[in-house]
A = this chain, B = another copy of it.
Amino acid sequence: MSAPTAGPIPLANARERVAERMWAGQKRLVDAFEEIDAHGRFKASSWERPGGGGGTARVLEGGAVFERAGVNVSEVYGDRVPDSIVEHRPSAGGLPFYATGISMVIHPLNPAVPAFHANFRYFEVGDGADWWFGGGADLTPIYGRPEDAAHFHGALKTWLDRHDAAHYPRFKDWCDRYFYLPHRGEMRGIGGVFFDDFTPSGDDGWTAAFALVDEGIRALEEAYLPLVRRHKNTPWTDEHRAWQLLRRGRYAEFNLLYDRGTRFGLQTNGHVEAILMSMPPHARWQFQHTPEPGSPEARTLALLQPRDWA
């Protein structure tokens, strides 16, 4: 993707302002997850990046509702934009950079509750000569229900439609193409939205992009938490659990084989525990497993195709 011409950054403290939204989002989401879980508590692990910056991973494991929930915030900077960024943003080559982001992955214990992933990020090059935002959220149901998918996509569409009616269809399509396992011919879940290299042009481009991301972080609670509350007390059996672990095997395959953030982070000596907090707490693989035709498991697989949910 070629870089659009970035408009000016309107504030001297733009980085601090974006990062403050990331840290505030982490606190708010961690509080919300703890409140729903009632039992589990987040542990914090802070790390420093040798080249500059660092972050704090906050992870809850073994909760009543969340088998694993991780919310990570990082702020990193350095003298030279990493090569993998320069590849698709050549004008950034050789310049100093600053990046901040929030990412979260939620693996609920109850197979009735979908897994959830979201991240938002901001990248600034050479004292503001170039900048972009990116982000997105997607849902991975173990047992798919159209009404859950409609709620999730509807919340994301409501957020994006406040900014530009063209965003949701474009970002939804981007997500459908990204969270896809080509070797299985399956989507990871029922999608959501995903965008990158977001640099609206014009004098107020930065302010508009910042508002989009700020509201996006806030929209996550409305998109996901109602689904947790809706299903967290649904009774489940060993068969449901076994299917959940198989689906998490697919999740592990996606993260390790295809996820750009995971592969980039590991290849650039990122903080392993913060990067791999996205992995499922338990996963399973079984030879030639095929659900019974007509079963809830087979119906879930049938939902894992791009579809108009909102």
Chain A residues engaging chain B, CB cutoff 8 angstroms = 43, 45, 57, 59, 61, 68, 70, 182-184, 245, 249, 252-253, 256-257, 263, 266, 269, 272-273, 275-277, 279-288
CA of A262 to CA of B258, assembled, Å:
13
Mind listing 25 A-B residue pairs with CB under 8 Å? Answer: A45-B287, A57-B287, A59-B287, A59-B288, A68-B285, A68-B287, A182-B266, A183-B272, A183-B275, A249-B279, A252-B252, A252-B256, A252-B283, A253-B276, A256-B256, A256-B257, A273-B287, A273-B288, A281-B284, A281-B285, A281-B286, A282-B282, A282-B283, A282-B284, A283-B283
- The interface centre, meaning the residue of A59, A61, A183 with most chain B CB atoms within 10 A of its CB, is A183
CB contacts (< 8 Å) of A252 on chain B: these are 252, 256, 283
When C-beta atoms are compared, the residue in chain B nearest to A183 turns out to be B266
Q: Find out whether the CB atom of A184 lies under 8 angstroms from the CB atom of B61.
A: no
When C-beta atoms are compared, the residue in chain B nearest to A265 turns out to be B183
In angstroms, how far is the closest chain B Cβ from the Cβ of A225?
Answer: 22
CB contacts (< 8 Å) of A182 on chain B: these are 266
In angstroms, how far is the closest chain B Cβ from the Cβ of A100?
Answer: 22
Q: Find out whether the CB atom of B286 lies under 8 angstroms from the CB atom of A61.
A: yes
CA of A182 to CA of B273, assembled, Å:
14
CB contacts (< 8 Å) of A61 on chain B: these are 286-287
In angstroms, how far is the closest chain B Cβ from the Cβ of A309?
Answer: 27
Q: Which of B253, B280, B282 contacts A256 (CB 8 A)?
A: B253
In angstroms, how far is the closest chain B Cβ from the Cβ of A30?
Answer: 14
With A184-B272, A257-B263: A279-B288 Cβ-Cβ less than 8 Å: no
In angstroms, how far is the closest chain B Cβ from the Cβ of A201?
Answer: 37
CA of A256 to CA of B254, assembled, Å:
9
CB contacts (< 8 Å) of A245 on chain B: these are 282
CB contacts (< 8 Å) of A70 on chain B: these are 287
CB contacts (< 8 Å) of A276 on chain B: these are 253, 285
Given A253-B256, A282-B284, 17 extra CB contacts under 8 A: A43-B287, A43-B288, A45-B288, A61-B287, A182-B266, A183-B272, A183-B275, A245-B282, A252-B252, A252-B283, A256-B257, A257-B263, A273-B288, A280-B285, A281-B284, A281-B286, A283-B285
